[in-house]
Amino acid sequence: MSTEEALDAYTELSSTVFSKKKWRIQHGSYKVTKLQEAIEKIVEKYGDAHDPNEIMLDPRQDCCKTAIATPSLGLTLFRTHESQPLQIDALCKIPIWQAARATTAASTFFKPMLIGRSNAEISYVDGAMGHNNPIKAVLEEAETACDHSGSIESQNIEYITSIGTGMPQNVSLKAPSIIERALVPINTVRAIVRIITDANDVAEKMEKHFSMMPGVYFRLNVGQGLQVSC
Mean pLDDT of the chain: 76
Domain with 192, as residue range(s), is 158-165+176-229
Same domain as 96, residue 25:
yes
Same domain as 185, residue 116:
no
Give this prediction's pTM: 0.72
Residue 150 lies in a domain: no
Residue 230: per-residue pLDDT: 39
Helices (H), the chain: 3-17, 32-46, 96-103, 135-142, 178-182, 186-196, 200-209
| Count: domains in the chain | 2
Same domain as 79, residue 8:
yes
Residue 203: per-residue pLDDT: 80
Same domain as 101, residue 16:
yes
Residue 181: per-residue pLDDT: 53
Q: Is the pLDDT of residue 195 over 90?
A: no
Helix or strand (DSSP H, E) at 113: strand 113-115
Same domain as 191, residue 77:
no
Residue 147 lies in a domain: no
Which residues, at least 6 apart from 199, have a Cβ–Cβ distance to it below 8 Å?
A: 128, 132, 133, 164, 165, 168
Same domain as 210, residue 97:
no
Q: What is the pLDDT of residues 49-82, one digit of tens each?
A: 999 999 998 888 788 888 887 776 677 888 888 7
Q: Is the pLDDT of residue 39 over 90?
A: yes
Q: What is the pLDDT of residues 111-128, one digit of tens each?
A: 888 888 878 888 888 766
Same domain as 125, residue 52:
yes
Counting DSSP H helices and E strands in the chain, the numbers are 7, 6
Same domain as 14, residue 110:
yes
Query: Amino acid identity of 63?
Result: C
Query: Amino acid identity of 36?
Result: Q
Q: Is the pLDDT of residue 194 over 70?
A: no
Better-scored residue on pLDDT, 142 or 147? 142
Residue 146 lies in a domain: no
Residue 41: per-residue pLDDT: 96
CB 206, CB 135: distance < 8 Å: yes
Q: Is the pLDDT of residue 168 over 90?
A: no
Residue 206 lies in a domain: yes
Long-range contacts, 149-158 (Cβ 8 Å, 24+): 153/213, 157/213, 157/216, 158/216
Same domain as 81, residue 9:
yes
Q: What is the pLDDT of residues 81-111, one digit of tens each?
A: 877 654 456 778 899 999 999 888 887 888 8
